[in-house]
Amino acid sequence: MKDQVQKLRDKINQYNYQYYVLDNPTVPDAQYDRLLQELITLEREHPEFITPDSPTQRVGAETLKAFSEVKHFVPMLSLENAFIEKQVSDFDKRIKEKLNINNSIQYCCEPKLDGLAINLIYESGILTKAATRGDGVTGENITNNIKTIKSIPLKLQGKNIPLLIEIRGEVYMPLSGFNELNNSAQKKGEKIFANPRNAAAGSLRQLDPKITASRPLNFFSYGIGYVDTSHHLSSLQSQFDIIQQLSEWGMRVNPEVNLVHSIDECIEYYKMILNKRNKLPYDIDGVVYKVNKVELQEKLGFVARAPRFAIAHKFPAQEEMTEILDVIFQVGRTGVLTPVAKLKPVNVAGVIVSNATLHNMDEIHRKDIRLHDVVIIKRAGDVIPEVVGVILENRPKNTHKIIMPPRCPVCHSIVEKEEGKAASYCTGHLICPAQLKESIKHFSSRKALDIAGLGDKWAEILVERKILTSVGDIYDLSMHTLMAIERMGEKSASKLCEAIQKSKKTTLTRFLYGLGIPHVGERTAKVLSEQYRDIHKFSSVSEEEFMQLADIGPIVAKHIVAFFKHPKHQALIEKLLKSGFVFEDLYQAEQRLPLKGKTFVITGTLEKTTRDEAKNILEKLGAKVTNSISSSTHYLIVGASPGSKLEKAQKLNVSILDEKKFQHLLSEFKQS
């Protein structure tokens, strides 16, 4: 038994060191809490095995040697934890027995922030020193870093300010700031923080205060330690009064703090905050109940590492440990392949989790996640569970690296990953069933074939009922088929059929855009249609030839060639064309584009029309309108207060038109 206790103690001390000193947690909080609870139970049953260095006899962890030490005037103790309602009720019962009372007790309730506890020392209202909790007696001197946090006042305001006071609170990192920090670090190839608490701790322990100042840290105060004996805070008879006084001194206090009148109301408060947990802009892992009256707190006193008058009611763990049994790849509606871990089922925050996202292959490589690894799973509210890290010390010998499949698991098209992008894509696009709903919505959109009535709702219904199995099936829809669908009335069916027939008379530009070729927007579709006029020509054009066209680079050219060389795409396009599409005669249209081949730039403010309106008029006449002057520019239209473009145009001998000449030019080409 003694060996078992010592091994458990050593393991907890190691986890404690990794979490608090190195800011590098290796196991989820729930696992740490379970081990600590197991040690507490064993030591209660065998008190002869308790030693001074046991984690049960300590509050925090060692101070980091890089910082000088600060001894707290009043120790900063940890809190006893409760995980179920019975433990909360037992806490209330113990208090009543200790105080020898039967009446309900008032409690001050507050969210338990998942940040870093700090101690602020103010002398005559001026912040002179700040320290971490450390081991509860001695902390790290982080004064210069704390002074960079704008929500911590350098000087207390108001009245009744003591000559010397310790103010306790929590430094934390808001979730939005945490996400931005990690995204920035990932782009730079720097360390990624495991969670906001880890990020806050790491930010406060920077030797260079400028780094701390650059981090999005915030602060809530929640209590007082030492107050000089010459100052009598006689009006502060309760914890709730203390919170109000801190606020009056200019300290930031949590707006969720509440005063309740019984342990049952504590439970109601817990449920209310648990319900709000995922809507709060910061991480919390439970709530804290403190006996409200200071007089009663003093009577209750302390045990070895915690006050008797307070308890932390922890939320169900959002992180747990489990094993990856398999990895599958799901294809999203835009063609992105997402690796999903099939897990040994585990209870996370009250829900049995058997699947978790791995995000993408870059994340898998960064975290070194392998098949059969023991991993940490995180779940927060309705957010999809994710694998946040690997427990390397538990890695079995039979692990295997995870590999992206070369072909789509749904349609078997080639899978590609663009350089510089994290995601991998299925190249099936229009013929991939996993992407069908999105393909139909895009094909039917106003800027594409403009099929009124075939919006999100009906596209999803028609796909789910397998009435549409490809974009080409749109033109096989009939009144009889549509009328058989529940909630599709005769009028709606008739309008949809009419819109489908009307969509067959369109332009090649709209048709190309509607196909959803990767990176081919309206402008590129227009360039392609004007250059080639015949859709059958695209399958024989090379990447190099496409790259000769305006606005088409190597990536776009590669996608266009791959799209039109795909046999299933070719078959689908033929099916669409056979349904009776009629494209506008682009050659005749060119006769109505007198400014085709001419490039214009507009500068300054126009009086008779806006610059956007002028641009639209020019483009309708076939002109190309750009933002910069070059040797290929034919005309510069100059309005009031022109910029540097005028001087550059004069140097390049570009023809310059004032607004009067521009209007005269338009009148020559005015169309009916």
Q: What long-range pairs does 580-586 form, CB within 8 A, spacing at least 24?
A: 580/475, 580/504, 581/504, 581/505, 581/506, 581/511, 582/504, 582/505, 582/506, 583/506, 583/507, 583/508, 583/511, 584/506, 584/507, 584/508, 586/508, 586/529, 586/530, 586/533
Rounded to whole angstroms, the Cα distance separating 140 from 69 reads 5
Task: In whole angstroms, give the CA distance from residue 522 to residue 141.
Answer: 60
- Confidence tier at 670 by pLDDT (50, 70, 90): low
* 602-629 per-position pLDDT tens digit: 999 888 888 888 888 888 788 888 888 9
Helix (H, G, I), strand (E, B) or coil at 186: helix
Q: So what's the pLDDT on residue 271?
A: 95
Give the whole-number percent of the chain exceeding pLDDT 70: 93
Chain centroid to Cα 354, Å, comes to: 22
What one-character-per-residue DSSP string does 84-97 give? SHHHHHHHHHHHHH
Per the rule left: phi > 0, alpha: psi between -120 and 50, beta: everything else, 74 is: beta
Identify the pLDDT of residue 22. 55
Regarding predicted confidence, which is higher, 77 or 26? 77
511 pLDDT above the threshold of 90: yes
Distance in angstroms (rounded) separating the CA atoms of residues 627 and 604 = 12
Q: Does residue 23 carry a pLDDT above 60?
A: no
Instruction: Identify the pLDDT of residue 443.
Output: 92
Q: Which amino acid is at 490?
A: E
Architecture of domain 69-314: 2-Layer Sandwich (3.30)
pLDDT tens, position by position, 304-353? 678 999 999 998 877 889 999 999 999 887 788 999 999 999 888 778 88
- Of 190-194, 291-295, 641-645, which range is least confident? 190-194
Q: Per-residue pLDDT for 19 more than 80? A: no
Which pLDDT does position 498 carry in this prediction?
A: 93
The mean pLDDT value for 416-423 works out to 80
Tokens 């898998």 identify what position?
Answer: 364
Q: Can you tell me the distance from the alpha carbon of 146 to that of 151, in angstroms, rounded to the nearest whole number?
A: 10
CATH class of 2-57: mainly alpha
> Which 3 state secondary structure label does DSSP give 499?
helix
**Residue ranges of the domains in the chain?**
2-57, 69-314, 319-401, 429-588, 593-668
How do residues 467-498 score in pLDDT, each as one tens digit? 998 899 999 999 989 988 888 888 888 999 99
319-401 maps to which CATH number?
Answer: 2.40.50.140
Q: Is the pLDDT of residue 236 over 90?
A: no
Q: Can you give the pLDDT at residue 233?
A: 60
What is the predicted pLDDT for the residue at 475?
93
CATH topology of domain 429-588: DNA polymerase; domain 1 (1.10.150)
pLDDT category of residue 35 using cuts at 50, 70 and 90:
confident
Q: Name the packing angle between helices 436-444 and 456-464 (round to 10°).
A: 140
> Looking at this protein, which amino acid is placed at residue 492?
S
Identical fold between 69-314 and 319-401: no
**pLDDT exceeds 60 at position 515:** yes
Q: What is the pLDDT of residues 177-202, one digit of tens each?
A: 998 998 888 777 777 787 888 889 88
What pLDDT, on a 0 to 100 scale, did the predictor assign at position 60? 45
Query: CATH topology for 593-668?
Result: Rossmann fold (3.40.50)
pLDDT value at residue 534? 83
Stretch among 74-78, 288-292, 426-430 having the lowest mean pLDDT: 426-430
- Residue 382 pLDDT class (50, 70, 90 cuts): low
Choose, from 71, 112, 187, 447, the residue flagged as catalytic: 112
Catalytic (active site) residue 112 = yes
Q: What is the pLDDT of residue 65?
A: 55
